[in-house]
Structure 1
Amino acid sequence: MNKTIEIQDLGLKDYKQTWDYQEQLFKGIVDAKIKNRKDNTQLKTNNYFLFVEHPHVYTLGKSGDLSNLLLSEQQLTDRGASFYKINRGGDITYHGPGQIVGYPILDLDNFFTDIHKYLRFLEEMIILTLSEYGLKAERSTGETGVWLDVGTPFARKICAMGVRASRWITMHGFALNVNTNLGYFDHIIPCGIRGKAVTSLNVELGVDKVDETKVKEKLLKHFKALFEADFL
């Protein structure tokens, strides 16, 4: 088993370009696994963790409802936003500047073959990171992602998640609102869930800007511990 993960920070990058890059890395792992099975070889399968920040974009998961996007094509253009229907789970979400997006592309055969556990670990990474900022983040039953004040009228989502897995290989991942312009969420029904707010780390801390580099360092620290991984 190869528990080494290559960390890449792509900076600000177009959503479609990043999606294509994910697919390229994903295919490389699939091809190695097929060859191992077919030719009885022992090729190592690689693991990746991509950090990225996207220009304004809305994405709709394969089980999502298009009516949860509240903008016309022209209105999207007017706001400088793009839209894609994609192959992850979940409904609609927004990505944009000030948001830390993470795409772990892992061969879970190197770690554990349990998608439920994988999602819970991603959530736990976020929960542990936010606790370092004095926030009590939680899971919300039946709603993937990370929330604050669960079970109260003030419940609000700070991190969305949506993944795809095939042959135990993962792609897509999480979007943590750090210094995000929350106004862009007004144009969707986030994750198809009505009546619940969205928040970001800088709003919760009452500051203009949170150091995103430090947030990434904390995320990786907890990810490494949870997955018992090594980093390149």
Structure 2
Amino acid sequence: MKNKRVEYQDWGLIDYKEAWDKQENLFSASVQLKTQLRNKQLAVAAGQEPEDDILTPNYLVFCEHPHVYTLGKSGKADHLLLDEAGLKEKNAVYYPINRGGDITYHGPGQLVAYPILDLDNFFTDIHLYLRTLEEAVINTLAHYGITAGRYPGYTGVWLDADNEHARKICAMGVRCSRWVTMHGLALNVNANLDYFKNIVPCGIEDKAVASLNQELGRDVDLNEVKKILKQEISVLFGMEIFG
């Protein structure tokens, strides 16, 4: 039985390490529950009486972080262009973490989404998962008259991806184990893009970054963006979001 109900949680502005720990707790509990489910299936196959169905939970978390740089498993440490003193001067911190991808920046005015989903409840295809998240962001930006798309060979969402003005407005990096996901995407809404000058964003040296407020020439209501993105994710995944 598939559980397409998804609990929405808004963690507000939260320290990155605190949010990472909270993610890990939800993620680990889902993976452990899937182990119980697998053991139950083996027991039924061996002729034991089936018990009540075990349904794995799903979560969609939105938040913002204070200034932080995170480096994925495939990234290079020298893509951070600041030393300890430089980080302190920028009031930023740095964490090597367990998602895919290279280095990125999170900060106030950036909408971070952490889907902690059991993909067995939806579809077991990590490529499709990433493309679906991208599509949700592309559709969200379209609400503001912004035409966005993909850049061949890279994850995330881009503007003017077909010409020399290509710039990235949404970065992505995920972890998946036993088809349970964590980490996710970061959409620049009212972000301070100067902080991206201190890294080689996502390991890409020759492309710029963008933010929705910069493109529109005005600040954007972050809660409005949350509402739109949540709806787009819900529709594309066929979710029933509550909370």
Q: Give TM-score, length-normalised by structure 1.
A: 0.98
Task: Specify the code of the residue in structure 2 equivalent to 1:19.
Answer: W
Task: Specify the code of the residue in structure 2 equivalent to 1:59.
Answer: T
> Which residue number corresponds to residue 224 of structure 1?
234
Deviation at 1:73, TM superposition (A): 1.1
Q: Distance in 2 between matches of 1:121 and 1:152?
A: 24
Deviation at 1:137, TM superposition (A): 0.1
User: Secondary structure of the equivalent of 1:134?
Assistant: coil
RMSD, aligned CA? 0.7
Gaps of 5+ in 2: 42-50
User: Secondary structure of the equivalent of 1:100?
Assistant: strand
**Do structure 1's residue 19 and structure 2's residue 30 form an aligned pair?**
no
User: Secondary structure of the equivalent of 1:144?
Assistant: coil
User: After the TM superposition, which residues 46-85 of structure 1 pair with which residues of structure 2 at under 5 Å, given as runs?
Assistant: 46-85=57-96
Instruction: Map Cα deviations across residues 59-117 of structure 1 (whole Å, 9 max, x no partner).
Output: 00001001110000111011110000000000000000000000000000000000000
* Displacement over 3 Å in runs of 4+: none
Of 209, 212, 222, 1:212 maps to 222
User: Secondary structure of the equivalent of 1:26?
Assistant: helix
Q: Distance in 1 between matches of 2:32 and 2:100?
A: 23
User: After the TM superposition, which residues 81-92 of structure 1 pair with which residues of structure 2 at under 5 Å, given as runs?
Assistant: 81-92=92-103
User: Secondary structure of the equivalent of 1:140?
Assistant: coil
Q: Distance in 2 between matches of 1:82 and 1:67?
A: 15
> Which residue number corresponds to residue 192 of structure 2?
181
Of 158, 170, 175, 1:164 maps to 175
Q: Distance in 1 between matches of 2:128 and 2:157?
A: 15
Deviation at 1:22, TM superposition (A): 0.4
Q: Distance in 1 between matches of 2:67 and 2:169?
A: 17
Task: Specify the code of the residue in structure 2 equivalent to 1:194.
Answer: E
Deviation at 1:151, TM superposition (A): 2.4
Q: Distance in 2 between matches of 1:195 and 1:22?
A: 32
Task: Specify the code of the residue in structure 1 equivalent to 2:240.
Answer: D
Deviation at 1:28, TM superposition (A): 1.0
User: Secondary structure of the equivalent of 2:206?
Assistant: coil
Deviation at 1:152, TM superposition (A): 1.2
Deviation at 1:118, TM superposition (A): 0.3
Q: Distance in 2 between matches of 1:230 and 1:190?
A: 34
State the number of aligned residues.
Answer: 231
Gaps of 5+ in 1: none
**Do structure 1's residue 98 and structure 2's residue 99 form an aligned pair?**
no
User: Secondary structure of the equivalent of 2:61?
Assistant: strand
Of 146, 149, 171, 1:135 maps to 146
